[in-house]
Chains A and B, each alone.
Chain A
C-alpha cells in the first residue's frame, strides 16, 4: 500500500516532534554529564585550581572542536525548544475549553511544569554564559589570570559562589533542571518507542539515579564554595 504522506508532514507530526525532543534532550544530557564531571575538578581531590585551569586552557587550545561542540549544542537546544513550542501550541489548541474541575491522578509536578522549567532553565543558561563564558557578569576583574597566565577559572568559580545570591540562583536553577531531567529521562524512552517488559521497571530508577548524579555533581560546586571546602 502506497503512503500518501509527504516526508515533511511525517517529520512534523506530534510523534516525530516528540522523538526530536527525546534525541536532542538525550544529547544535551550527555553534555551535562561531561560539564558536571569537568566542574568537579575544582575540588582538591580531583586536582583543584591546577586541573581546572589546565582543563579550560586545553579546551580553548582546540578552537575547531570547541566550536563544533558549541554549534552542535546550539542546534540541539534549537531543536528542543522549537519542537517544544510547536507541541505546546498544538496541545493548547487541542483543548480550547478547559474543565471547571480537573484532578491530576498520575501526572507529577515535574511533568506538569516542563513547559515552565524549560524556559526558566533557558534564561538561566543565558545568564550562566554571560557569567562565566562571555562577559564575567558579576566577577570583578574578569578575566582573572593564574600564575601560568591561563584564565583562572578556579578563581572565577570561587569569587562567584562566595556570593550567596549567585549560589542561590545556581541552586534554584539546578533544582528546576532536576525536575526537568527526571521527567525527561523517563519520557524519552516512551517518545523513542523503547519499551521492553523486562527493562521497563528500571526506567524510573534510572531516571532518578542519573538525575541525582548530575544535579548532585553540579550543586556540589556552589555548596563546596559556600562551606569553604573550595576556596
Chain B
C-alpha cells in the first residue's frame, strides 16, 4: 500500500443556473487502494472539516452496475481504464500512469444539464426508455423456461446489449453528444428477442424521435462511445438501430 498526493481541478457549480468554475483542491495522502469515489469521499470529509461545501457527485452501487457515477477524468469518460466505471477505478491506476493532476468534469451535453458540481440530470435517458424501451406482456405466471426458443447467438448478443447501465459515458465522450450507442443497445437488446418483435417497428421510430427531441446529436461513427463504454457495448448496435429505423420507415412509418 502506498499513499499519493494529487492536485484536483474539480468543476464546481452551485446550481443549474450558475456558470460554474474549476476549483483547485490538493488531495494529499490518498491510498492507492482507494477507488476514485473513495478518494472523493476523503476529500469531501476534509472539505467538511474545513467548513466548506463537499463536492457533489452521483453514486449508488459502487460496484459498476448502476450507472450513476460517471464523470470525465482528464478528458476520458470514467477515467483512463477501459471497461471500467469511475467507482471501480482505483487510484493505483493514476499512480502507475504517473498522473498527479486530475481534471474532473461533469458529462457535457445539452440533454444532461448539470444539477450541481459533477451531478448531471440524465432523465432524458428515462424519457427515451419510456418512448419505447420496453415490451408489453400479459402478466401472470412466469412462462416455462425454454418455452420460447431463442437462438444462442441472438441470446448472447441481446444479453451483451442488455448490459448497458445507462451511465451516459457514450453521450459524454461522443464529439457530437449523440446517444446512439445507448439507444442502439436498447433496440438491439429487445429487437433480438422474440418478446420484442411485436413493438420492434414502432419502438425504433419512437425512441429515435425521442432521442432527437431530447437534443442529442447524430452518430458520425467516431467510435468514442464504444471505446469508453464501461460495459463494452459495440458500435454494431448503432448499425442495428439504423437498419431497424430504415426498414420501419420504408414499411410506412
Contacts and interface: CB of A to CB of B under 8 A. Distances in A.
Interface of A: 1, 3, 5, 7, 9-11, 13-19, 87, 90-108, 111-112, 114, 183, 186-187, 189-195, 197, 200
A195 B209 contact: no
Contact of B245 (A9, A102, A193, A194): A193
Contacts of B205: 3, 5, 10
Interface in B162-180: 173, 175-178
Nearest to B22: A100
Contact of A192 (B103, B108, B109, B246): B246
A171 to B, nearest CB: 27
Nearest to B80: A103
Given A13-B212, A87-B218, A195-B236, A95 B253 contact: no
A90 B217 contact: yes
B111 interface: yes
Given A94-B177, A191-B221, A99 B242 contact: no
Given A14-B208, A106-B223, A95 B109 contact: yes
Contacts of A9: 209
B76 A193 contact: no
Nearest to B225: A106
Contact of A111 (B74, B202, B220, B253): B220
Contacts of B220: 18, 87, 91, 111, 114, 187
Given A10-B205, A14-B218, A91-B218, A107 B223 contact: yes
B218 A90 contact: yes
Given A10-B209, A104-B222, A106-B226, 13 more contacts: A14-B208, A19-B242, A19-B246, A90-B212, A94-B215, A95-B109, A106-B224, A187-B220, A191-B221, A192-B246, A193-B240, A194-B239, A197-B153
Contacts of B222: 104, 106-108, 111-112
Contacts of A11: 249
Contacts of B226: 106
B224 A186 contact: no
Given A14-B212, A190-B239, A191-B242, A3 B72 contact: no
Interface in B209-244: 209, 211-212, 215-224, 226-228, 235-236, 238-244
B242 A192 contact: yes
Interface residues of B, number: 53
B217 A94 contact: yes
Interface of B: 9, 22, 72, 74-76, 103, 105, 108-111, 153, 173, 175-178, 199, 202, 205-206, 208-209, 211-212, 215-224, 226-228, 235-236, 238-247, 249, 253
A13 B202 contact: no
22 contacts: A1-B199, A1-B202, A3-B253, A10-B205, A13-B212, A14-B178, A15-B245, A16-B249, A19-B242, A87-B220, A94-B111, A95-B108, A101-B105, A107-B223, A187-B221, A190-B235, A192-B242, A192-B243, A193-B244, A194-B239, A195-B236, A195-B239
The 3 closest A-B pairs by CB, nearest first: A193-B243, A94-B177, A195-B239
A207 B175 CA distance: 22
Contacts of A95: 108-110, 176-177, 217
A100 B218 contact: no
A5 B202 CA distance: 10
A5 B207 CA distance: 11
Contact of B253 (A10, A99, A192, A195): A10
A105 B226 CA distance: 10
A108 to B, nearest CB: 8
A126 B59 CA distance: 54
Given A14-B218, A95-B177, A101-B72, A194 B243 contact: yes
A199 to B, nearest CB: 11
